[in-house]
Each structure stands twice: as C-alpha cells, then as structure tokens.
C-alpha cells in the first residue's frame, strides 16, 4: 500500500529528533525508497503536492496561472516522458520551500571526489549550511564562517515571517547551539566579538519564537542569554534590544510596570542620537506599557517620541535584527497596536489599515497580528460586525502559521465581545475560533 505524506512526515519527525537534516533525510530516502530528490525533499517536509502548490501560491501569487498539484507532479516525474523540465526559477523556488540548494533537486552525477583538494578542503570549510554542521567540524571560526552564520540567522528570521515560528524554532535552537559550541575557536578579538553578536542575534530570535509559542520562561532564558552575549561583545544597541524583548514578555503577562522598569534600563544604554531604530522601537514599547497602566497621556507622549525618532531611521544605521522596523509598514503596524493599547481606536484603525496595505503578502503572521489589533479597535468603537469579519480572517492565518500567541489573543477578543454574544456574527466567530 502506498504511504501517505503524513506517514513520511512522522518518520521525518523521528529522524529530525535524532539530529538529521532535511538534506540527510532526503539522501537516505532516495536510496531506501528509490525516489528522486524532488520527491524526497517534499516528503521529508511531510507535504503533499497540493500543499506545495498552496504554499507556492501564497509566497508567489499569480492570479492568471496559479500553481496546481498537477504541475508539481510534472516536475517530479521529469525526466520521464510525461514530465516537464523545471526552469531555474522553479528550482530556486522549490529549493526555498524545501530548504535546500537548487542543484540538489536535479539528481545530477557528482564527480567532486575527483578534485584532489576536495578532501583537504572539506576539513577546513564545509559547504553545507552551518546549522547542518556539527560544531566539531568547524575547526576555525573566520569572518567568512560568521558571515554564513549571520546569513542563516536572517534566513530563519524571514522563514518565521512567512511560515510561523513552529517551522523554524528547532532549527534556530540548533543554530544557536552551533555558534556557542565554536565560540572558543575565533582567531582574533574582533572576530570573537562578531561571533558573540551573531549568537546574540540568534538568541533574541529564539526568544521571539518562544514568545509566539507562549513559552515565556523559555523566551526569557533566551533573551537573558542574548543580553549577556551583547554585553560581552560591547554591543549596547543589541543589549538594549534584548532588554526590550524581555519587556514584551512583561507586557504579554499584563505587567506594565515591570515592562517600564526594564525599558528604563534599555533606554539608558542608547542615549542621544545613537541607534535611532532601537530608540524608536523602545519608545513605542514604552507607549504600550503606559497603555497597560491606563495612562494614555503619557503613552501618547512616548508614541510621539517614537515617531520623531523614526524620522532618523535609515537602512545604513539599522541593525539586521531590527531590519523589519526600517519599513513604513512595520512602523504603522506598531503604531496602530500601541494606539489600541492606549484606547485611541479611530487613530489606530488609520495606522492599521495603512500597515495592511503596505505589508508584503509574505509577512503572514504580522498580518494576522495586525488584523487582531484592527478587530480590537473595532470592538472599542462598538462596530461589532466589522470586528468579527476581521477576526475571522486573522483566525485563518493564525491557524496556518500555528501562532499560539495570536490564537490566544483571538480568545481574549471573544471575551471582549461577550456583551454582543446574541448576535449571529459573534456566535459564528465563537464557533470558528473555539470549535473548529
């Protein structure tokens, strides 16, 4: 009996738990099940052809020619007579979905072993992504190695935006472990500090992923590690940002005062004109904290300061770990969220609609969070039908990305809607969020 994609996924999960990468799983299954690489990588991710087509259409929408399971099948059976050769663009996009290189999907013959230097170089520089490399195989951490590690962190960051924290949290944890495991293999002090900054970035990212999964104790542990690494690297901006992430853990627990205490320390680390993106982001967090404390006037003052400081934000002065804050869509999104905390719903809706217009389609989890903020603003204005309509959209996205944080926020929104529980739209939303 043919195996289902889900049964392959269960086997892949077991192999991943033993430390195998997707590449290793695909290679093993190619030999064991006599399948080609395109099929092996898809099954390693537990995906059907229809699911690959759906993800493709979400990431690269084309209203005229959306991809179908049949097209995925054509590419998989090539070079058979009924197959169709995938283009370079197709291979690149499949490689993105399967987290591999485009060349690995072609099943070409490998003659690299005929290069007399290949065995020697393999001991010095492994061409595989650093996260798929055990720390014991990185004998010397050069700036080039760190650049690869930084690139991989940013790749995980963008995968989180598109597919949710559940898809990358384990990889980020292993990636961080790799960097910590080789931290004593840097040749110079400057290289060592760069590695510490890179590890600090991965640690704060792991913290955000844990927040999304509502694992707050784990999140704080990662953030404390990020703060420690930043302090050792003498990176005051990353130090302040790590504290800022901890303040959000306090905010999520409803502790506005605790958040303000942490933010006060964070702001003292980046005074004057330094790190404008960090200072603006921290001021926005201060505004939210005052919103939790029911002090809208002080909160609005903090929000005005965040906007004023944001005027000085440019790409050249924005750290990669705060790159999302460099775009107008995210500034508008965070402003709208802060205004809902401050119970300024009319201004909030303007900012949130601006954010939804500007947000790239691939930033799916941020879109769900923005829709929840918009629904909250509508509830504050007692526009219940609009709130329910927007919340339904957010629920669909939150389920797709597996965001426990956004699912919790939707359940909290249901509590706010209780005064209107006799309305059909509210009852329908209750059923969708709680029963499906």
Which token pair is 174? 């292993």
**Domain edges within the chain:** 5-107, 327-436
Ramachandran area for residue 19 (φ above 0: left; ψ -120 to 50: alpha; else beta): left
Task: Write the class of the CATH domain 327-436.
Answer: mainly alpha
Tokens of 358: 């500007």
- 397, 369 contact by CB (below 8 A): no
pLDDT for 191-238, tens place per residue?
A: 999 999 999 999 999 999 999 888 999 999 999 999 999 999 999 999
In contact, 241 and 322? CB cutoff 8 Å: yes
Percent helix, percent strand, percent coil in the chain, to nearest 5: 75, 0, 25
Digit-coded pLDDT (tens) for 158-174: 888 878 888 889 889 98
- pLDDT at residue 109, as a whole number: 58
pLDDT reported for residue 110: 56
pLDDT recorded at residue 115: 44
- What is the distance between the alpha carbons of residues 203 and 172, in angstroms, rounded to a whole number? 8
* Rounded-to-10 torsion of CA 212, 60, 129, 167: 30
Residue 42: is it exposed, middle or buried by C-beta count within 10 angstroms (0-12/13-18/19+)?
Answer: buried
pLDDT for 196: 96
Where the chain has pLDDT below 50, the residues are 1, 112-136
Question: So what's the pLDDT on residue 378?
Answer: 97
pTM confidence score: 0.62
């Amino acid at each position: 009996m043919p195996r289902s994609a889900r049964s392959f996924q269960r086997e892949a999960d077991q192999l991943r738990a033993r430390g195998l990468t997707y590449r290793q799983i695909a290679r093993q299954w190619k030999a064991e099940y006599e399948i080609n690489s395109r099929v092996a990588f898809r099954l390693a991710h537990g995906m059907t052809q229809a699911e690959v087509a759906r993800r493709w259409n979400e990431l690269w929408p084309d209203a005229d020619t959306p991809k179908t399971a049949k097209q995925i099948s054509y590419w998989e059976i090539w070079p058979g007579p009924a197959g169709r050769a995938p283009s370079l663009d197709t291979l690149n996009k499949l490689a993105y979905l399967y987290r591999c290189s485009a060349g690995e999907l072609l099943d070409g013959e490998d003659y690299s072993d005929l290069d007399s230097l290949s065995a020697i170089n393999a001991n010095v520089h492994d061409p595989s992504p650093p996260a798929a490399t055990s720390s014991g195989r990185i004998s010397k951490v050069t700036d080039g190695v760190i650049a690869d590690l930084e690139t991989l962190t940013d790749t995980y960051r963008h995968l989180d935006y598109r597919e949710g924290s559940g898809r990358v949290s384990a990889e980020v944890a292993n990636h961080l472990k790799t960097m910590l495991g080789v931290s004593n293999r840097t040749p110079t002090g400057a290289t060592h500090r760069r590695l510490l900054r890179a590890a600090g970035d991965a640690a704060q990212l792991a913290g955000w992923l844990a927040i999304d999964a509502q694992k707050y104790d784990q999140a704080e542990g990662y953030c404390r590690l990020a703060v420690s690494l930043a302090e050792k690297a003498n990176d005051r901006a990353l130090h302040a940002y790590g504290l800022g992430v901890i303040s959000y853990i306090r905010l999520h627990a409803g502790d506005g005062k605790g958040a303000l205490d942490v933010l006060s320390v964070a702001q003292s680390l980046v005074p004057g004109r330094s790190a404008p993106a960090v200072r603006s982001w921290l001021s926005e967090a201060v505004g939210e904290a005052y919103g939790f404390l029911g002090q809208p006037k002080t909160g609005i003052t903090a929000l005005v300061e965040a906007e004023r400081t944001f005027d000085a934000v440019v790409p050249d002065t924005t750290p990669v770990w705060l790159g999302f804050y460099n775009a107008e869509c995210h500034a508008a999104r965070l402003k709208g969220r802060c205004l809902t905390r401050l119970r300024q719903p009319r201004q909030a809706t303007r900012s949130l609609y601006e954010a939804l217009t500007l947000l790239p389609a691939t930033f799916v989890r941020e879109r769900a969070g923005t829709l929840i903020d918009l629904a909250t603003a509508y509830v504050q204005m007692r526009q219940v039908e609009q709130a329910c309509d927007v919340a339904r959209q957010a629920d669909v996205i939150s389920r797709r990305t597996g965001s426990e944080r956004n699912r919790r926020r939707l359940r909290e929104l249901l509590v706010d809607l209780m005064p209107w529980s006799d309305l059909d739209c509210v009852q329908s939303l209750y059923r969708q969020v709680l029963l499906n």
